[in-house]
Structure formats: C-alpha cells, structure tokens
Amino acid sequence: MSDCVFCKIARGEIPAQIVYQDGQVTAFEDADPKAPVHVLVVPNQHVGSAAELGPGNGPLLAAMVLAANRAAEAAGVAGSGYRLVMNVGQDAGMSVPHLHLHVLGGRALAWPPG
C-alpha cells in the first residue's frame, strides 16, 4: 500500500526517530507516546493487521519481537520490564492500518490496560 504512513516511514520517505531497522522490520519512536518509552515495530512490507497473518508468518513475528527486544535494550528498560502490545481493529485502538507492535516502558504499567 503506497500511501500507508508506516510503509513510508520504513522506506525513509517520512522522517522518524528510527531505533532499529533491518530487511524485515523497522522500529521507531511513536510520535504520540503513551509511556516514557514508546516504540513501534512494523514490517517493512505492508500487512494490514495481525488478522491477516497465517502459519507462514512466524519468521516475521519473530523478527518483530527481536526488534522490540533490541529497542527495549537500547532504551534502557530491558531490565526493569516493558510491555508488547499488538492491537487489531478500530475498537482496539488501531489508528494506522498496518501491523505494528508497541513497545511500552519506562514506568510501572497498570493492569488491566483498557
């Protein structure tokens, strides 16, 4: 999807604070953070949401989690803890229709989250 904002960030067409990037995924600081550390990890290729994933997407999900772990380490929250969140659909709070993993940390996070 050529007009997707997260696709454009992954391609370098829109500036963002990139914290990690490889051939499969891009991790960048959220423009509207909900915690002191709030990084988004997105696939470089467009995937609408987790609802579109199937059995063959295991390597992509692993790449996303590994990038999230690297982002948490780089932000200094790997030892204290962080939350990984993947929303699906508007009612869950998904505002950009591109699969993304939130990495949240830097403070104690409440539960339940919603």
Which tens digits make up the pLDDT trace of 41-83? 999 999 999 999 999 999 999 999 999 999 999 999 999 999 9
Judge whether 100 counts as a catalytic residue.
yes
The CATH number that applies at residue 32 is 3.30.428.10
**What is the residue range of 32's domain?**
5-105
- What's the structural domain count of the chain? 1
Q: Give yes or no for a contact between 97 and 37, defined as CB atoms under 8 angstroms apart.
A: no
Amino acid in position 100: H
Could you identify the residue written with the tokens 């009612």?
A: 91
- Predicted local distance difference test score (pLDDT) of residue 58: 96
Task: Please identify which of the residues 38, 46, 98, 100 carries the catalytic annotation.
Answer: 100
Pick the closest to residue 44 from 84, 12, 15 (CA basis).
Answer: 12
Domain assignment of residue 114, yes or no: no
Domain assignment of residue 98, yes or no: yes
The pLDDT-based confidence of 1 (bands split at 50, 70, 90) is low
Pick the closest to residue 30 from 80, 68, 2, 1 (CA basis).
Answer: 68
Q: Give yes or no for a contact between 19 and 27, defined as CB atoms under 8 angstroms apart.
A: yes
Tokens of 105: 């940390």
